[in-house]
Chains A and B, each alone.
Chain A
Amino acid sequence: MSQTLFDKLWNAHIVRPETPDAPALIYVDLHLIHEVTSPQAFTELAERGLKVRRPDRTVATMDHSTPTWPADLQGQRRYASEQAWEQVRTLLDNCDEHGITVHDWDSPNRGIVHVMGPELGLSRPGMTIVCGDSHTSTHGAFGALAFGIGTSEVGHVLATQCLLQRKPGKMRVTVDGRLGAGVSAKDLVLHVIGRIGVDAGTGHVIEFAGSAIRALDMEGRMTVCNMAIEAGARAGLIAPDQTTVDWLRGRAHCPQGEDFEQAASQWLQLKTDPGAHFDREFRFDAEEVAPTITYGTHPGMVVGVDQAVPASIDAAGRRAMDYMQVTPGQSLLGRKVDVVFVGSCTNARLGDLRAAAEIMRGRQVADGVRMLVVPGSEQVRKAAEAEGLDQVFLAAGAQWREPGCSMCIAMNGDQVGPGQTAVSTSNRNFEGRQGPGSRTFLASPATAAACAVKGCITDPRHIDGPPEVRIHFPAPRQMEARQ
């Protein structure tokens, strides 16, 4: 019978099949951990006298509560609190005790878990990958089954390398056609979430397919899969192809030489069979995608940056717009911006920084705007510095920081002030996500950079155009009148 890519990945990892009484036992090839969601799991192990079953399949990084300021002259780091430091230390102690590789301050590879894993070639096609972090869906870009888990399940994987799971449903999002100039993978995925909704993927794994997805580079594919969770999905997936293989060749944890070519030929077999069944299907045309931005308090409330936000909304929409101080029926262009954040596991890879730098080059961050650029990993930082991107940002008046989650989750002291407006390349615009009372507009790196330069919400395609003046006509009323 025809199988989907997801079926194949699932079947290859069944230790015990699902029965009415018990979920399937699924084997985990790679377990990534970080300081925030692991300490209680290690405590659980200690209380039961258990060991980590496969330290060799476990890799740790520190990213969420770590400061992004460089160390001072004494080598000290500015932690946001005693507790934050305690959390990082706990991770280091736990890794030490259990023989787990940890990318700490001394590692040349430390980074946000979902940037670092792929970069090191730890995430490869055909694998199962989990992490106590919902954006683990990112690694699905390589044709791996990758999903986020809670801390109890982190404990399960540490102790047994397995998880109890019922098989999710299958969903496919096909995007054909070509993205327009100045339109990125981030715009594409925001557009899709806006159309299908933030809970469309609940209980499903989404496979992204179609010519527009094929045309994305690996960084773009990671951005798309990263946001699959924002459509509620368990995981996002893209079938491996030559782009995947070329990106992985030579990475530290990949097989090398002839072994690599052999592995690659197997990876290229991993795809959905023709005629395989999906429980839900959606299709989109890439040409319809504009630079896209959110206007509300979840990632499904999106609009083309040059379009007006919806005029007719329900109570929830109104509450969200009130919070965001957005007027129904009006365009966001010209809305004053206080903070711009280029970073996070969604958009802090080299290509993202290049896209932002291209806009910033020779321009200045507008007065009154604070801009933070936070590379996703040490490798990204070094590559960006080698190209002089740091100098572009610094010359423009932006801050160039060290890798970490930073303002995406605002746990490390980097945050947006109460009531402030931020344009961010991260993935969540929930109330208070970037700091209590913060207002977040999610967008691509190019749009974020354009907003920084202009000091207000700006269409990156028209950054040098005349000041954008829009005339608002009242919404047509004849429909109501006729009733």
Chain B
Amino acid sequence: MTPFKRLNSTTVVLTERNIDTDQIVPARFLTTTNRRGLGQAAFADWRFDKHGQVREDCPLNARQAETSEVLVAGENFGCGSSREHAVWALLQFGFRVVISSRIADIFRANALRNGLLAIEVDADTHAWLLDNPGAGVTVDVVQARLRLPDGRDIEFELDPFARTCLIEGVDALGYLLGQEQAIAGFEQGAREAA
């Protein structure tokens, strides 16, 4: 993973609530055995119609979306299936940050494990972001702050462990492997009976 400390980007906005991971990556793209080639699958049925034609009205197809690294979405983003392909697809599409007023648990965990920053903001900030597609924002991972063009500077919650992983560009597996002694100790305890 590339270290992620800070970025400036315009936003792409999807106002829909409850965007589930079946929308982010339809199941027909899941018969893969690697993590590659999923950028095309991102929101495939929103970006293309049933004949494969580009849907001009989809914000993800706007020219600005090509350089945008921040996706703002309606409440409860990433609900449904646990497929991590949803996170891989968004990253490969070019996003590094997802902002919503609520983000589903498994999606959020998957995102942070892959260097995609999933941020929950308060209802007012969320409403403003939804109303202002294309706004230029600054995301500061080190300070856990989001800056809006009107000068608002909002602190967001970020688990300190996830933050370290993002800033240093490391994943959690290394840390887990370092816990071998504790794990072995636990296994030798009464639990082995279970």
- Residue among B22, B33, B45 with max Cβ neighbours from chain A (10 Å): B33
Q: Which of B106, B173, B175, B176 is the one whose CB lies under 8 Å from A44?
A: B173
Q: Which residue of chain A lies nearest to B74 when distances are taken between CB atoms in the complex?
A: A316
Number of A-B contacts defined by CB within 8 Å? 177
A133 within 8 A of B: yes
Interface string of A408-433 (1 = CB under 8 A from B): 01110000001000000000101111
Instruction: Report the separation of the CA atoms of residues A232 and B82 in the bound assembly, to the nearest whole angstrom.
Output: 11
B16 within 8 A of A: yes
| Closest beta carbon of chain B to A254's beta carbon, Å | 12
Is B50's CB under 8 angstroms from A15's CB?
Answer: no
Is A436's CB under 8 angstroms from B45's CB?
Answer: yes
Is B105's CB under 8 angstroms from A153's CB?
Answer: no
Which residues in A have their C-beta under 8 angstroms from that of B83? 36-37, 150
Is B114's CB under 8 angstroms from A27's CB?
Answer: no
B135 within 8 A of A: no
A21 within 8 A of B: yes
A109 within 8 A of B: no
Which residues in A have their C-beta under 8 angstroms from that of B74? 316
Is B106's CB under 8 angstroms from A162's CB?
Answer: no
Which residues in B have their C-beta under 8 angstroms from that of A27? 183, 186-187, 191
| Closest beta carbon of chain A to B42's beta carbon, Å | 14
Of the candidate stretches B4-12, B23-31, B60-68, B142-150, the one touching chain A is B23-31
Given contacts A160-B180, A160-B183, A298-B18, contact A148 B33 (CB under 8 A): no
Which residues in B have their C-beta under 8 angstroms from that of A37? 82-84
B96 within 8 A of A: no
Q: How many residues of B are counted as interface, with CB atoms below 8 angstroms from the partner's CB atoms? A: 53
Q: Which of A23, A36, A86, A90 is the one whose CB lies under 8 Å from B30?
A: A36
Given contacts A37-B84, A199-B18, A428-B22, contact A156 B160 (CB under 8 A): no
Interface string of A52-89 (1 = CB under 8 A from B): 01000000000011000000000000001101101100
Which residues in A have their C-beta under 8 angstroms from that of B75? 199
| Closest beta carbon of chain A to B134's beta carbon, Å | 21
| Closest beta carbon of chain B to A266's beta carbon, Å | 10
Q: Which residue of chain A lies nearest to B31 when distances are taken between CB atoms in the complex?
A: A83
Is A84's CB under 8 angstroms from B50's CB?
Answer: no
B113 within 8 A of A: yes
Which residues in A have their C-beta under 8 angstroms from that of B17? 316
> What would 4 more interface pairs be, CB under 8 Å, given A22-B175, A25-B183, A436-B45?
A149-B106, A152-B110, A160-B179, A431-B23
